[in-house]
């Protein structure tokens, strides 16, 4: 039985969270991003000039739960939820 004070229970963000479409170039560290594939990630940092190519960046999620790196064109549209 879960604790009634909320400790130890799953919390998945604000239920009123809204998503806004932006270009990948407008994403900032700390943003929650939904990619075109439907994958959601928390951007910890952004690598610019990925593989030495202008216009190619990588979003990196580096959390205790997961390490994930996603290459993206700077012009690509992604959805962002900012708190």
User: What CATH number corresponds to the domain at position 30?
Assistant: 2.30.30
Q: Determine the pLDDT at residue 12.
A: 54
Average pLDDT over residues 58-76: 96
* pTM for the structure as a whole: 0.76
The answer to whether position 5 is within a domain reads: no
- Is 11 inside any structural domain? no
Mean pLDDT of 6-13: 48
Q: Which residues form the domain of 68?
A: 20-81
Number of domains in the chain: 1
7 within a domain of the structure (yes/no): no
Is residue 14 a part of any domain in this protein?
A: no
Q: Is residue 8 part of a domain?
A: no
Give Cβ neighbours of residue 16 (< 8 Å, ≥ 6 apart). none
The mean pLDDT of the chain is 85
b vs e for 46-81, b when ≥16 Cβ sit within 10 Å of the residue's Cβ? beeebeeeeebbbbbbeeeeeeeebebebebebbbb
* CA neighbor of 46 nearest in space, from 63, 62, 35: 62
């Amino acid at each position: 039985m879960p604790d009634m004070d909320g400790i130890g229970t799953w919390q998945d963000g604000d239920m009123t969270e809204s998503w806004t479409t932006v270009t990948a170039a407008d994403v900032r560290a700390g943003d929650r991003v939904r990619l075109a594939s439907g994958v959601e990630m928390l951007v910890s940092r952004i690598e610019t000039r990925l593989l030495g190519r202008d216009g190619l960046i990588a979003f990196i999620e580096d959390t205790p739960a997961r390490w994930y790196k996603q290459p993206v064109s700077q012009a690509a549209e992604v959805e962002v939820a900012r708190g």
